[in-house]
Chains A and B, each alone.
Chain A
Amino acid sequence: MAETENEVEVLVQRVVKDINNAFKRNPNIDEIGLIPCPEVRYNRSPIVLVENKLGVESWCVKYLLPYVHNKLLLYRQRKQWLDREALVDITCTLLLLNPDFTTAWNVRKELLQCGALSPERDLYLGKLALTKFPKSPETWIHRRWILQQVLRECSSPGPDRKDQGDGDRHDAAEKTRLSEHLHRVLYEEMKVCADAAGRYPSNYNAWSHRIWVLQNMAPGNLQVLHDELSSMRQWVSMHVSDHSGFHYRQFLLKALVRELSQSLSSSSSPQHYHPQPSSNPSHSPHKANPLHQANGEATAAAPCPSPHSPEDLASMPALPQLFHQEVELCTDLIKSFPGHETLWCHRRHVFYLWHHWRRDHHYGQGFGSESPHLNHTDAGLSSHPHTACPGGVGLDRVQRRNGQAQEGQDAMEVDGVGVPDPRDTKRLKRGPPGPCPPALPSEHSFIASVLDSCRSPEQGRFALAYRKWLDSVIGQ
């Protein structure tokens, strides 16, 4: 059945209006989808709104998309004028069907710049598009641009003071409001990323966006880093193939290492906030200003202020404990889910971070565990039956953050006690809190125990690859 141009035009205009009315009627739409419905039905709207789900019947899409697509391009080439409202409606329809259409997002950027759109609206539109297209690169890219506008807004000088007298109070209140706003935006981004990560396995774009958000909206923020590490534990345990999810934990650990190490080095003047070395892409509009935060004021420049107050540091787990927990998580998962390359990659990465931190901070200086006679060929030495980490003096010293743990550390290494044998977990939990961070002998011991007990050829293969990696990359 051939449709006249006019019929198509009428249909499309109606559909575009129906879509946009649906949003007006229900501002809580949280998912979009295509409804398989190949039969053309001119008399009924192909737009279906059920609860908070917006559906488009598939039959209309082949008319709808080319029409709105070409209309937008005619506008872009200045061959046909479209007013702001029409542009908003058309780009919305287009992007829900084809969110990789870069130019359509750019039109919306311009609309935002002239005040015809709010950032919230495009964050919402993007969120919807991601329910159907969780990888869409252009959607994530547009999102980052929007967030940069939000950041810029939040750090620009406050509104004109009407009353000079109230100026200070007004400023402080304004700063708090902005900080809370950014905090909400930040957590909303975490949620959007988590949803998209759940909709597509190992979603590189979702996770790299998540990292970008932390780097740009909460640089060096210990609380956020730590919260994220905690909250992601369960997620990764249920997605053991998700390499991007585990990489995110590696990113968090690395950032925590960086922040906590700096605090260590400035521990003589706890009130000082030292600027971090730039691991953040410096295209971020903000560079954290080194400001004293002793008076508790948020800095104007740092979006989510990250004061390293003594209280914060005291409430943070020590690095050895963080590493111990991460290795323990990794061990549990490796044993529960044999043959997952992702888990072994994660182990490599975590060990690497720990190994280098120890080396850089002279933690356990001069310990001989990495001398040749304690490599994996000396299985006898390193496969002592593991007991729970000794409590008492040795552990206390390991827990201290200022590098005085040397003696305790040496004792642990030579005894071949590192990561506790998982069979002793119960005993360990009853004992004093004892971080037993990884060490080469214990890692080789772990590999040996996996090889002994594994029945999966892949698991064996990955364990051997890990051993080879330890020997080549670490044990030099």
Chain B
Amino acid sequence: MGTQVKDVVIKSDAPSALLLDKHADYIAAYGSKKDDYEYTLSEYLRMSGIYWGLTVMDLMGQLTRMNQQEISDFIKSCQHDCGGISASIGHDPHVLYTLSAVQILSLYDNVNVLDVDKMVEYVRGLQQEDGSFAGDKWGEIDTRFSFCAVATLALLGRLDAINMDKAVEFVLSCMNFDGGFGCRPGSESHAGQIYCCTGFLSIAGQLHQVNADLLGWWLCERQLPSGGLNGRPEKLPDVCYSWWVLASLKIIGRIHWIDKSKLRSFILACQDEETGGFADRPGDMVDPFHTLFGVAGLSLLGEGQIKDVNPVLCMPEDVLERLGLHPDLLS
């Protein structure tokens, strides 16, 4: 008697060709109905939503279809007196949206519409005595925020603003016996946190502290029979893990441990042929988040029609080239 392993079954009529034009149309039209109830529900993360949309458009060579001026003005009005950026106008500032804002403006080479010094001060002020980073003034600690902090500063060329040694010490204290990382010391390993921590260590120049074989093994165990990747044992596959897991593997130099063609098939099956966009798994509703990570995952797999994506910052390589940023990768 066999157990059914948690996985999806890809139907034979699932999409198998890459539908880039449909995805570009989907993103370009997203949010044009601004009174939509769904849109209001997600306003609390709007800055990240814009980053997802713009980045995937840039990867597809379609960035010009988006309204640069409107977006720059919007971002400017999201910077608060403390220097931090909020997800949308009137919302409270947070390091998550500070990073998203800097990523967006980096795409446009327009970071200076913001008060950069104040922003750097804001990020610096979030670092705690033990090296960890709070997300905002209210003090929640999470390794995601360590990543957001250093990624923001790296894009601004201001990594010297924080205590990097302490920051590294904290992230390493979140390393678990399986080689993975959780949100805080003692927390369960999770692919999303692993992406943040390996990305952090890359920027900090400390990738040698990772046990690449052990972590690589844990990461490639995320691949399921369908070809898709999950984030933890016995979870269903999700296209966003094609990013978190794959990028982590790329960073630690073990991307060849994954069955690339099976993963590619899974990602393509997550497309919606009618509406464009990608869903978390085949047949579900699409959204910009999964659309970015589906396309970015395909880029890491070597898809010719898509620009090269940087596995640490999830931004087009040519943008980072312009900034002179080359975060470490293990070979």
The residues of A with any CB-CB pair to B shorter than 8 Å are 61-62, 65-66, 69, 73-74, 76-77, 98, 100-103, 106, 109, 138, 141, 144-145, 148, 202, 204, 207-208, 211-212, 215, 241-244, 247, 251, 254, 279-283, 337-342, 345, 348-349, 352-353, 455-459, 465, 473
B44 x A202 contact (CB < 8 A)? no
Q: Which residues of A contact B141 (CB under 8 A)?
A: 281, 283
The distance in angstroms between the C-alpha atoms of A103 and B128, with both chains bound, is 22
A241 x B177 contact (CB < 8 A)? no
Nearest-CB distance from A330 to chain B (Å)? 14
Nearest-CB distance from B285 to chain A (Å)? 17
B138 x A338 contact (CB < 8 A)? no
Among B3, B5, B130, B232, which residue has its beta carbon within 8 angstroms of that of A282?
B130
A100 x B44 contact (CB < 8 A)? yes
A202 x B89 contact (CB < 8 A)? no
Nearest-CB distance from A431 to chain B (Å)? 33
**Does chain A have a CB within 8 A of B324?**
no
Nearest-CB distance from A344 to chain B (Å)? 8
The distance in angstroms between the C-alpha atoms of A280 and B187, with both chains bound, is 11
Known: A243-B235, A338-B1. A102 touches B91 (CB 8 A): yes
B234 x A202 contact (CB < 8 A)? yes
Among B40, B90, B234, which residue has its beta carbon within 8 angstroms of that of A65?
B40
Q: Which residues of B contact A352 (CB under 8 A)?
A: 177
Sample 23 A-B pairs with CB under 8 A, ordered by A number. A65-B37, A66-B35, A100-B45, A102-B87, A102-B94, A103-B91, A106-B92, A141-B135, A202-B235, A208-B184, A208-B188, A241-B6, A241-B234, A243-B232, A281-B130, A341-B5, A341-B233, A345-B178, A349-B178, A352-B177, A353-B177, A457-B2, A473-B214
**Does chain A have a CB within 8 A of B139?**
yes
- What 0/1 pattern do residues 112 to 140 of B give for CB contact below 8 A with A? 00000000000000001110101100111
Given contacts A102-B91, A339-B5, A455-B2, 8 further A-B contacts (CB under 8 A): A76-B90, A241-B234, A243-B188, A243-B234, A279-B185, A282-B128, A337-B3, A349-B177
Nearest-CB distance from A276 to chain B (Å)? 12
Q: Which residues of A contact B221 (CB under 8 A)?
A: 465
The distance in angstroms between the C-alpha atoms of A204 and B87, with both chains bound, is 24
Q: Which of B67-109 contact A (CB under 8 A)?
A: 86-87, 89-92, 94
- What 0/1 pattern do residues 32 to 70 of B give for CB contact below 8 A with A? 000101001101110000000000000000000000000
Q: Which of B176-211 contact A (CB under 8 A)?
A: 177-178, 182-188, 190
The distance in angstroms between the C-alpha atoms of A36 and B212, with both chains bound, is 50
Q: Which residues of A contact B132 (CB under 8 A)?
A: 281, 283
A247 x B188 contact (CB < 8 A)? yes
The distance in angstroms between the C-alpha atoms of A47 and B167, with both chains bound, is 49
B5 x A66 contact (CB < 8 A)? no
Q: Which residues of B contact A66 (CB under 8 A)?
A: 35, 37, 40
Q: With contacts defined as CB atoms under 8 Å apart, how many contacts are there between chain A and chain B in the complex?
A: 126
Q: What 3 pairs across the A-B complex have the smallest Cβ distances?
A: A339-B3, A73-B90, A247-B188
Closest to A138 in B: B44
Q: Which residues of A contact B90 (CB under 8 A)?
A: 73-74, 76-77, 103
Closest to B37 in A: A62
The distance in angstroms between the C-alpha atoms of A144 and B134, with both chains bound, is 13
B1 x A69 contact (CB < 8 A)? no
Nearest-CB distance from A472 to chain B (Å)? 8
The distance in angstroms between the C-alpha atoms of A342 and B6, with both chains bound, is 11
Q: Which residues of B contact A281 (CB under 8 A)?
A: 130, 132, 141, 184-185
B139 x A211 contact (CB < 8 A)? no
The distance in angstroms between the C-alpha atoms of A69 and B232, with both chains bound, is 35
The distance in angstroms between the C-alpha atoms of A461 and B242, with both chains bound, is 23
A338 x B140 contact (CB < 8 A)? no
Nearest-CB distance from A316 to chain B (Å)? 21
The distance in angstroms between the C-alpha atoms of A465 and B6, with both chains bound, is 18
B139 x A148 contact (CB < 8 A)? yes
* Residue among A98, A102, A341, A456 with the highest chain B CB neighbour number at 10 A: A102
A283 x B128 contact (CB < 8 A)? yes
B232 x A204 contact (CB < 8 A)? yes
B130 x A73 contact (CB < 8 A)? no
Nearest-CB distance from B76 to chain A (Å)? 15
The distance in angstroms between the C-alpha atoms of A385 and B229, with both chains bound, is 41
Nearest-CB distance from B49 to chain A (Å)? 13
Closest to A247 in B: B188
Nearest-CB distance from B330 to chain A (Å)? 19
Nearest-CB distance from B306 to chain A (Å)? 30
Nearest-CB distance from B86 to chain A (Å)? 8
* Residue among B87, B90, B128, B235 with the highest chain A CB neighbour number at 10 A: B90
Q: Which residues of A contact B235 (CB under 8 A)?
A: 202, 243
Closest to A338 in B: B3
The distance in angstroms between the C-alpha atoms of A204 and B235, with both chains bound, is 11
B44 x A345 contact (CB < 8 A)? no
Nearest-CB distance from B166 to chain A (Å)? 11
Nearest-CB distance from A462 to chain B (Å)? 10
Among A138, A208, A473, which residue has its beta carbon within 8 angstroms of that of B183?
A208
Q: Which residues of A contact B139 (CB under 8 A)?
A: 145, 148, 283
Q: Which residues of B contact A207 (CB under 8 A)?
A: 188
The distance in angstroms between the C-alpha atoms of A202 and B233, with both chains bound, is 10
Q: Which of B1-15 contact A (CB under 8 A)?
A: 1-3, 5-6
The distance in angstroms between the C-alpha atoms of A61 and B141, with both chains bound, is 33
The distance in angstroms between the C-alpha atoms of A348 and B218, with both chains bound, is 12
B190 x A204 contact (CB < 8 A)? yes
Among A61, A208, A244, A251, which residue has its beta carbon within 8 angstroms of that of B37?
A61
Closest to B41 in A: A98
B43 x A69 contact (CB < 8 A)? yes
The distance in angstroms between the C-alpha atoms of A349 and B189, with both chains bound, is 12
A212 x B184 contact (CB < 8 A)? yes
* Residue among B130, B186, B187 with the highest chain A CB neighbour number at 10 A: B186
The distance in angstroms between the C-alpha atoms of A73 and B92, with both chains bound, is 10
The distance in angstroms between the C-alpha atoms of A465 and B235, with both chains bound, is 18
B2 x A342 contact (CB < 8 A)? no
Among A144, A251, A280, A456, which residue has its beta carbon within 8 angstroms of that of B140?
A144
Q: Which residues of B contact A348 (CB under 8 A)?
A: 178
Among A208, A243, A345, A473, which residue has its beta carbon within 8 angstroms of that of B187?
A208
Closest to A348 in B: B178
